[in-house]
A and B are shown apart, each in its own frame.
Chain A
């Protein structure tokens, strides 16, 4: 039974809007020109490939359904589990279902803590028990090194083959259509990703590549699931941020006078309240609302999703002021331009002037800040979850992984793999977002020439 979570709907809406925009601007020269400048930079192409991979993972995780419960009686109406799963969950089913009892190190064959194991002869010893799935295929643990090497090489071989295939297809189709784009960088980035993913996939068939967490869930699986959360926060927030920021900024700059005063009052007030406090109080308030209406949500997943949505809305509501201020400045300048004055003189309505003259000319600022905000929001989520006012604890996100790692680092011996996994995935995501944002800014703002 498919389930449409609110954030899913918004995410797919954004994808559709982005695709529509892409199709429209491909045909219009003035819209496509800055983007072709962007994609002429190697860093942009490489980071775009990385982001595309992340986006694919996130979108696969945004198709939810409730699995059917097996029924002995075929005539009975189908019953569905309370659990909500996604397509990504189904694809990664081996990673999801093969959970151990508790912590285990990456590529380990034994649990991370000792247990009293009963030997067949009746004695009990304290030792590190063998994992149920990690390395279970090994009869002799001495073979572990060789087994790992074999699996990694098999995975790498598969990755290389896939890479050749994709590059060949790309060369024939994409490179012909857009020859000026440095596809070499894309191929290199893709190669890099596959070089990591291939062996990981190969090893994942027999081991827990990044170890397991406290209840034995594979850390690689957790990291992949966290991608969606970051994606949602980075993009859905803009759905709230954009309309508010554009409306406020452009009106303040265009209409001036009382409206400008009012809007300036609003955003000075909003900015004056320390951000964390505002976000914390709002999140707590939403949580209370959710808790007091348990009937409105059928499953815990829907409750958690509503909180994620609320967090996006709150982040949007608290961060539109920056965009508004930029747009106000730009609109003030644009309203003085000759063609706008002329349009006034001709009696053109405000709406038309805004739509035809102002909005298109501030579009580049909007795009730049959109892309720049993405990485900032992903980082903010980590800090907020750490403080305790981020996503619902049942949602996997990088912030909750770091938060859990905080307690794990206090263990003796230390459990480091959750933190390391969160670190690398976050770094990859945020770094590529930042590099892409830089390229977008350079492409859209031709005054910056180094």
Chain B
């Protein structure tokens, strides 16, 4: 097991390198350092000297990939690419273009992101499983039929409508929760109630349908037929056998999502003014802040790879027949 994990970690390093190159290339094809400087310096009275000074301070006055003027190894290392990327691997993200420390920023923003993502995840999981179980239990009745229709309908509504509509109804018309904002500690509950509700409602359609399929598949298996033939009550069959066995694919499917919870939901955070990592990313894209974008891509990739690893490991743990090579 340990050898497998080590091997996977080593395998991840070239992936991260390639990701770094891709992000770098994409970003600098879009923005030259001149553009980034102008973005940060504002609109009035921006002189070429100010731009040159800005670039020099941040190391953007060097060539992108290859510095022919330097000697030896300097040709590789004395470039923007090398200098900006190599420190990522020690999680030193440096400073954003406006000189705020990125690492600090990420640490502060992780809290709100998680405070939103974890409840959505847990409550959503519980609601989806309950609803799916209900539909599977009442399969082939009108309850199942209408349940499926409802799920498909809810799935077909864009999350934007849920957010806009939810905010309008719950906050504006009914004055039940604050429209937007965030506070630390226990006060966060009143700010997160609506975003969590919207997150759960938005995901019910797709999630319940998928789990219903899994449950139905499970219920079609032989052992279930045997259990029923033995005379077990339907509810016992459902809860004791089907649920437990169907939970395996469900849980292994969601494990990959867990690390990504850190990244936050971009839309929800933006609309509800929650200062999390998601809104940090969106702001950075719109402000063309490469340092932040690069950091967020790196973190996202690391978390995704960790998620994949966790999925594989959990497969082994829950299903003893699976052995990792």
Contact = CB atoms under 8 A, between A and B. Distances in A.
Contacts of B22: 269, 273
Interface in B7-40: 14-16, 18-19, 22-23, 26-27, 29-30
B15 A272 contact: yes
Given A269-B19, A277-B300, A386-B267, A285 B164 contact: no
A221 to B, nearest CB: 21
B213 A285 contact: no
B113 interface: no
Interface stretch (B59-67, B151-159, B225-233): B151-159
B263 A285 contact: no
Greatest chain B CB density within 10 A among A282, A285, A382, A402 is at: A285
Contact of B164 (A268, A273, A409): A409
A431 B282 CA distance: 29
Interface stretch (B68-76, B84-92, B103-111, B301-309): B301-309
Given A272-B19, A274-B300, A282 B26 contact: yes
A285 B31 CA distance: 8
B296 interface: yes
A10 to B, nearest CB: 24
Given A276-B266, A383-B267, A268 B160 contact: no
A277 B30 contact: no
Majority DSSP secondary structure for residues of B touching A? helix
B158 A379 contact: yes
A268 B142 CA distance: 42
B156 A382 contact: no
A174 B262 CA distance: 55
Interface string A369-390: 0000001000100110011110
Interface in A338-365: none
B156 A268 contact: no
B30 A285 contact: yes
B155 A434 contact: yes
A273 B297 contact: yes
Contact of A269 (B18, B216, B266, B296): B18
A431 B300 CA distance: 32
B293 to A, nearest CB: 6
B140 A281 contact: no
A450 B148 CA distance: 12
B159 A383 contact: yes
A317 to B, nearest CB: 12
Contact of B29 (A280, A285, A426, A435): A285
Interface string B304-317: 11001000000000
A434 B158 contact: no
Interface in A392-450: 402, 405-406, 409, 419, 423, 426-427, 430-431, 433-435, 438, 448-450
Given A379-B158, A383-B158, A434-B155, A277 B140 contact: no
Nearest to A283: B30
Contact of B153 (A268, A276, A387, A431): A431
Interface string B265-306: 011000000000000011001100000010011001100110
Given A285-B30, A382-B160, A271 B304 contact: yes
A272 B301 contact: yes
Contacts of A435: 152
B160 A383 contact: yes
Contacts of B304: 271-272
B174 interface: no
B168 interface: yes
Given A273-B297, A388-B286, A427-B156, A284 B30 contact: yes
A12 interface: no
Contact of B161 (A268, A281, A423, A431): A423
A273 B25 CA distance: 14
B139 interface: yes
B32 to A, nearest CB: 10
B44 to A, nearest CB: 24
A280 B285 contact: yes
A409 B168 contact: yes
Contacts of B157: 423, 426-427, 430
Contact of B281 (A276, A430, A433): A276
Nearest to A287: B30
A340 to B, nearest CB: 24
A52 B16 CA distance: 45
A277 B281 contact: yes
A69 interface: no
Given A273-B22, A284-B30, A435-B152, A382 B300 contact: no
A265 interface: yes
A406 B156 contact: no
A281 B26 CA distance: 6
A274 B263 contact: yes
A296 interface: no
A375 B206 CA distance: 12
B249 interface: no
Contacts of A448: 213, 216-217
Contacts of B293: 277, 281
Contacts of A382: 158, 160
Contacts of A405: 164
Contacts of B296: 274, 277
Given A382-B158, A431-B153, A431-B156, A277 B297 contact: yes
A332 B189 CA distance: 49
B14 A273 contact: no
A387 B282 CA distance: 8
Nearest to B217: A448
Nearest to B151: A434
Contact of A426 (B27, B158, B297): B158
Given A268-B308, A375-B155, A430-B156, 12 more contacts: A272-B304, A276-B266, A277-B23, A281-B293, A285-B30, A386-B160, A387-B285, A402-B160, A402-B164, A419-B164, A434-B152, A449-B220
Report the 6 A-B pairs with minimum CB-CB distance, sorted nearest first: A272-B301, A430-B156, A281-B26, A274-B300, A431-B156, A284-B30
Interface of B: 14-16, 18-19, 22-23, 26-27, 29-30, 139-140, 152-153, 155-161, 164, 168, 213, 216-217, 220, 263, 266-267, 281-282, 285-286, 293, 296-297, 300-301, 304-305, 308
12 contacts: A273-B19, A274-B300, A277-B285, A277-B297, A281-B285, A386-B160, A387-B267, A402-B160, A402-B161, A426-B157, A431-B153, A438-B152
